[in-house]
A = this chain, B = another copy of it.
Amino acid sequence: MTGENIMADQILQLKTIDSEIQKLIHTAALLSWDQETYMPPAAVDERSEQLALLEGLIHDRITGQRAGELLEGIGLSEDQPDGPDSLDPAQAAFVREFYRRYRRSIKLPKKLVTERARQSALAQRVWVEARKASRFSLFEPNLSTILRLVVETAECLGYDEHIYDPLLDEFEPRMKTSELESVFARFQERLKTLVQRIMAGRPVESSFLKRSYPVEKQRAFSNLVLTAIGYDLKRGRLDISAHPFTTTLGCSDVRLTTRYNEKYFNTGIFGTIHEAGHGLYELGIDTSLCGTLLADGTSMGIHESQSRMWENLIGRSLPFWKHFYPQLKTQFPEALSHIDLEQFYRGINVVRPTLIRVEADEVTYNLHILLRFNLEKKLVCGDLAVKDLPDAWREESVALLGVAAPGDADGVLQDIHWSMGAIGYFPTYSLGNLYSAQFFKVMEKELPEMTRPGGLLERGEFAEILSWLCQKIHRWGKTFPAGELCERISGEPLNPDYFMDYLEQKFSDIYGI
């Protein structure tokens, strides 16, 4: 064989290994999805063992000797983590991502990987119970175990600057804690000023959102919106879980969950649209990448840019509701009687520092993230003990938001992430907010028909919007790293000004400031 042929053959062998890994990842995803949706409660111990086994099998294959030899043969190394220049772009992306995954995994003992899977599965069930009882102490032992395993993971992965770096890198590849801190610093002051101005603006009435919204009707409406924006339910589902999430079980099997609150309209619909944003990304990946490790979002920040864009820039916009509000009003004639479109739009966009992140308005949302980012850094550095977390949460909440939850359910226990060991994930929500505004600005320019009066959104026509997102973002999967993708789309690196411009304009109108 010629050198070129040898390399093509080595890549083919890697693809075979990867194909098996992907099938196992999707199988493990089903075990997790089922645990959150339909699994009988008593099965949790056995499920945690099944998940630990699967994660171990995945780890074996990622770190297998043959994979290492092939990567070396192709020319991947610490000094050349992107592989040789001779590869075509698709091959280059494949080996780059394979090597990235290999390099991370090879540093982790299998025992640590399986133990994390086992303990996460167990902790999630305890978290649900603890949240129901609003008692952090029930969850504390599990979280301590999880934190110990996460810190051990970070130590194994290694870091130059901050122990948080390798954790963040799992969700936002190539981003450093210090970069993130400077991103936050760049818009934090402007955000605070905006919050103060809004608080002095004309008040927004939103109490009608807490009237009675029967769950069955919410579910029907969620499905209606899902179908309208182009979610293909032959390739996905919408179910109910304690914490909304999206999971990929294959290129043609991307499942969403949401939750409904009869006494608060926003929970269900915006949870659904948010997750649909994630799901549309996964379903939009080019079929040529199907079954490979490139068939995945390129970073959680980019992923959240899609969920937050659909949820907020589209889903909380006036033209969107110009289309859907008449249908909504037919579903809930009592709750929405005497509420006109304008009032509804202002109501769903009310800005108010509150307790629950997933129900926060667009303006204060990033403060919820900052709170978690600050606490996570302290936890992994050992500057904060798990037992002191509820108090620290309250303090941080008062400092950033001016409010604090009396109980744990609405405070430290509100999010599922830590129970899953997903420390380092939260900041990607803020990155998603920033990216979403930056991308939306470009989309508005290239699709002037989108937001203008009588345009696509007002007509409830989402196909062109989805197609734009697909062409620019979805289809590529992990082909381009987040930073490169951002430059390709917008011609510049991540720039928080777009997000702040967007917020200031939108909320100046709403609050008459």
Contact = CB atoms under 8 A, between A and B. Distances in A.
A466 interface: no
Contacts of A24: 53
A253 interface: yes
Interface string A226-239: 00000011111101
A30 interface: yes
A20 B252 contact: no
Contact of A237 (B38, B236, B249): B38
Contact of A20 (B31, B53, B253): B53
Interface stretch (A39-47, A409-417, A482-490): A39-47
A234 B42 contact: yes
B40 A236 contact: yes
Copy count, this protein chain:
2
A46 B234 contact: no
A31 B49 CA distance: 16
Nearest to A234: B42
Nearest to A49: B23
Given A30-B34, A31-B30, A57-B57, A253 B43 contact: yes
Given A53-B20, A57-B57, A250-B47, A31 B42 contact: no
Interface string A18-37: 00100110110011001000
Nearest to A54: B27
Contacts of A495: none
A205 to B, nearest CB: 38
A354 interface: no
A16 to B, nearest CB: 12
Contacts of A41: 234
Contacts of A31: 27, 30
Contacts of A235: 40, 42-43
A47 B39 CA distance: 19
Given A23-B50, A27-B54, A38-B237, 7 more contacts: A27-B31, A30-B34, A34-B34, A39-B253, A40-B234, A40-B253, A50-B250
Interface of A: 20, 23-24, 26-27, 30-31, 34, 38-43, 45-47, 49-50, 53-54, 57, 232-237, 239, 249-253, 255, 291
